[in-house]
Amino acid sequence: MNKVEYWLSIAEKIIGLIKPKFYNSITRIVVFFGLGLTVESQLNIFEAFVVASFEKLFGPSDFLRQLLSGSTSPWIGVFFVVFGLTYNGIVTVGLELIQKYKAQIPKVPEFSFSFLNADDEEIEQNSFLRGKLCHIDIGDIPDNSAYSDFATRRMKKESGIHQLRHLSGTSGPVKDRNIGSYDARPNRDFYRDRARFLKIWGGSEILAMYLVNKSNVLARNVRVEISCQRDKGLSLDNKNDLIPELPKQEKESSLSQLSSLPLHNTPTHFDIRNNHNNSRYFFEWDVGNLQAQEECSSYTNIFIRTDTSVDISIKVFCDELPSPMEMQYKIMPTEKSINVGLEQLKANRKEFFYYASSAIMDGYLERYQDRLLTEYKNQEDVLVP
């Protein structure tokens, strides 16, 4: 809503308050009252009637004649007449002109933009990131040479199956699809991968864009641009899947990795694209048409991690807007931090999971795991062919 339409709407509401159903009767009363005062000021009819009535009953009274001898100004009556006619003109012709002018003003969409965090919660325009920044000051992180408990159990299981085949004299592919052939070796960089994982994800956030067309007008070719200055300690990236994945203690062989790849690769589509340069981060969200009273959120996310405050500029464009809607977000780094030692990097999987989860969006890994379990249970309860 532009400024002209805003003030016209206020004037329309005020006129609506002073325009009852019987406004014509009010006009007549005020005008007749004003005319009466005007006539009275010139002819003194009321005073003559009072004096005549009094003297007929009680006799002549010079005091009463002197009391009522002052003449009233005719301008008071004229004022009431003008006021009544002006009031009627405002609530009839004036209101009609306002409504007619408002109808001629082109209707434009009105948007509400916000960022959603990984838990689908709207963040404020001045927000701190969640979690803890992880400081890793370890001179020489050692290599890993051990297998995980899961890999050890799986290799023992497959070793027993191979021994059973040898004793029974059978050969050929394994019938159990859940076993398969597991060929892996210890990941030498496992502890370094964990350190990098904590450095990247600690104190970071996953953001999605959320837009609402609050008006009753269709918005065509809607797009949202966000940009900010590139500074040291700031990292931004756009991804369709930004779920933190814990480092693996083993590396599978190339043959095992190839066997797990899908037969048909579906091309990745981003509804948020980037076009960065050396001085600024720049993202564009292609929304398309947005119906009246409709809301939309991006399925592509934006990863953000920063050590300093970041000012993010947002611009919302569409064909109906003469100029883009603009707003600012100020994102500040988390105020919490932890020092990561070698003991944490060498912790077992369960301990490291909870340690990392506390540093990533205040327990996001645990919440995401619970959400997956809930979705899995819900799918089990649904009976479909």
| pTM (2 d.p.) | 0.68
Residues ≥6 apart with Cβ < 8 Å to 385: none
- Check whether residue 372 and residue 233 sit in a common domain: yes
- Check whether residue 247 and residue 319 sit in a common domain: yes
- Check whether residue 117 and residue 17 sit in a common domain: no
What is the total residue count of the chain?
A: 385
Q: How far is CA 161 from CA 43, 154, 164, 179, 256, in A?
A: 126, 11, 5, 10, 19
> 263 lies in a domain?
no
HSE-up (13 A, CA, CB side) for residue 81: 12
- Check whether residue 132 and residue 248 sit in a common domain: yes
Please report the pLDDT score of residue 332 as a whole number: 97
Please report the pLDDT score of residue 353 as a whole number: 95
- Check whether residue 11 and residue 38 sit in a common domain: yes
Please report the pLDDT score of residue 174 as a whole number: 42
- Check whether residue 224 and residue 372 sit in a common domain: yes
Please report the pLDDT score of residue 52 as a whole number: 62
- Residue 25's domain spans which residues? 3-104
> What CATH code is carried by the domain that includes residue 279?
2.60.40.10
Q: Name the domain count of the chain.
A: 3
> 261 lies in a domain?
no
> 262 lies in a domain?
no
- Check whether residue 167 and residue 74 sit in a common domain: no
Q: For residue 133, which phi and psi values (nearest 5 degrees)?
A: -75, 130
Closest CA to 219 of 100, 103, 112: 112
HSE-up (13 A, CA, CB side) for residue 357: 14
Cβ-based neighbour number of residue 129 at 10 Å: 24
- Check whether residue 227 and residue 247 sit in a common domain: yes
The pLDDT tens digits along the chain (385 residues) read 556 556 656 766 776 665 666 556 666 666 665 556 565 555 455 555 555 665 666 667 665 555 555 555 565 656 666 766 776 677 676 666 766 666 655 578 899 999 999 999 999 999 999 999 999 988 899 999 988 888 888 777 766 555 555 555 544 444 444 444 556 789 999 999 999 999 999 999 999 999 999 988 899 999 999 999 999 999 999 987 778 899 999 987 655 555 454 544 545 678 899 999 999 999 999 999 999 999 999 999 999 999 999 999 999 999 989 899 999 999 999 999 999 999 999 999 999 999 999 999 999 999 999 988 888 888 877 766 7
- Check whether residue 203 and residue 335 sit in a common domain: yes
Please report the pLDDT score of residue 262 as a whole number: 52
- Check whether residue 181 and residue 293 sit in a common domain: no
- Check whether residue 173 and residue 123 sit in a common domain: no
